[in-house]
């Protein structure tokens, strides 16, 4: 088995009777990027700050490189932290900010200068070494904060909502740069976000959390393609969730007049359907065709997003239409649902856990 750098064992945090994090366990291997993903208040930031040492857990242990650091202060945990607001020292230059952690570790001046030069070259900011933070763009400030955290070569890098202060286009570009940089230095990284697209684009594994409890852990493709609970399916991307019954004979009945081929034991299920698996029927269609009424439509450029009423159920469809323009609300439309894109969740898993409170 690959080297485990960080091990969180049964982490719990509560304030009185209110449980913020409930029995959180996770092992992270060397060089792995793990994302804690979930809505506001799910416990992801609290978990990150417990690992950093800024919050004391109610229970559980934190192991870093085989050493129990649960009771150690942040500066003795060998972690590097990039805060949501970057927290650069405004009176220090770029080079001085990057050197700060090295000075705290009493690194010799010559070695310190060499390490700062390496870090500035890594983030492609050598030419800006003498600038103050106020003279930098948001993206440049983020890179300086990242270089400052990485410079002392911590065992684990911790990122708290690293793109929250950036505009949409810059977020997309910098998340690609961030993943490439982290992989280049091969540092184990734990980061927090509520942005599903960021999690899918950056992480090697995603931990989906809700109300302090882990809903599912897996690779981005696994989480998206095979959600274990309705919460995971609905939070990670757009989907339609329809009540259905499996007859145990290879058919999924969604409504009296809507059924699809689907294997599985008989029982009540929720059918999770991503919008890319619903499409307009074509001439001479061989697949089952269902009549629908358009409730709303939005032109998004590369595709149009259309919400239809399908036998009393709202179903979302992403598709291209002739001429590029989607149908209008009130129009009728024949649609096809690709059975390969239907994911089934047993009724018992719709709410995967009891309220920890």
Domain extent listing, the chain: 4-231, 238-347
Per-residue pLDDT of the chain (357 residues; tens, 9 = 90+): 568 999 999 999 999 999 999 999 999 999 999 999 999 999 999 999 999 999 999 999 999 999 999 999 998 899 998 887 778 899 999 999 999 989 888 889 999 999 999 989 988 899 999 999 999 988 888 889 889 999 998 999 999 987 776 766 777 777 888 888 899 889 999 999 988 988 999 999 999 999 999 999 999 999 999 999 989 998 988 899 988 898 888 888 887 678 888 888 888 899 999 999 999 998 888 888 899 999 999 988 889 999 999 988 899 999 988 777 889 999 999 999 998 889 998 876 554 444 444
Q: 336 near 279, Cβ under 8 Å? A: yes
pLDDT of residue 264: 81
Model confidence, pTM: 0.85
In CATH, which of 3.40.50.300, 3.40.47.10, 1.10.645.10, 3.20.20.140 is domain 4-231?
A: 3.40.50.300
Is 73 exposed, middle or buried, given 0-12, 13-18 or 19+ CB atoms closer than 10 A? exposed
Token pair for residue 298? 């939005």
pLDDT of residue 19: 93
How many Cβ atoms from other residues are within 10 Å of residue 53's Cβ? 20
CATH class of 238-347: mainly beta
Whole-Å CA distances, 31 to 5, 65, 119, 184: 9, 13, 18, 9
Q: How far apart are CA 20 and CA 36, in angstroms?
A: 14
């Amino acid at each position: 088995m690959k080297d485990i750098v960080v091990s969180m064992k049964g982490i719990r945090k509560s304030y009185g009777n209110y449980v913020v994090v409930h029995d959180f366990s996770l092992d992270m291997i060397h060089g792995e990027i793990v994302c804690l993903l979930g809505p506001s208040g799910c416990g992801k930031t609290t978990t990150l700050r417990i690992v950093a040492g800024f919050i004391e857990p109610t229970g559980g242990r934190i192991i870093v490189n085989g050493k129990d650091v649960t009771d150690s202060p942040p500066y003795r945990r060998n972690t590097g932290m990039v805060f949501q607001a970057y927290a650069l020292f405004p009176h220090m230059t770029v080079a001085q900010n990057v050197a700060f952690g090295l000075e705290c570790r009493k690194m010799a001046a010559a070695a310190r200068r060499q390490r700062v030069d390496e870090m500035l070259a890594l983030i492609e900011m050598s030419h800006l070494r003498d600038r103050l933070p106020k003279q930098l763009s948001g993206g440049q400030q983020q890179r300086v904060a990242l270089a400052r955290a990485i410079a002392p070569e911590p065992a684990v890098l911790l990122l708290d909502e690293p793109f929250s202060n950036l505009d949409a286009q810059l977020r997309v570009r910098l998340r690609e740069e961030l993943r490439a940089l982290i992989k280049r230095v091969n540092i184990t990284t734990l980061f927090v976000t509520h942005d599903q697209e960021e999690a899918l684009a950056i992480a090697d594994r995603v931990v989906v959390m809700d109300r302090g409890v882990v809903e599912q852990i897996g690779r981005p493709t696994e989480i998206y393609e095979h959600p274990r609970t309705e919460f995971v399916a609905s939070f990670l991307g757009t989907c339609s969730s329809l009540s259905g019954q499996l007859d145990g004979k290879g058919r999924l009945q969604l409504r009296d007049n809507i059924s699809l081929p689907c294997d599985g034991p008989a029982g009540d299920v929720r059918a999770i359907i991503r919008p890319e698996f619903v499409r307009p029927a074509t001439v001479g269609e061989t697949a089952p065709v269902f009549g629908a009424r358009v409730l709303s439509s939005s032109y998004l450029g590369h595709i149009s997003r259309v919400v239809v009423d399908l036998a009393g159920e709202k179903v979302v469809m992403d598709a291209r239409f002739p001429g590029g323009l989607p149908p209008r609300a009130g129009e009728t439309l024949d649609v096809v649902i690709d059975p390969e894109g239907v994911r089934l969740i047993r009724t018992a898993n719709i709410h995967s856990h009891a309220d920890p409170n």
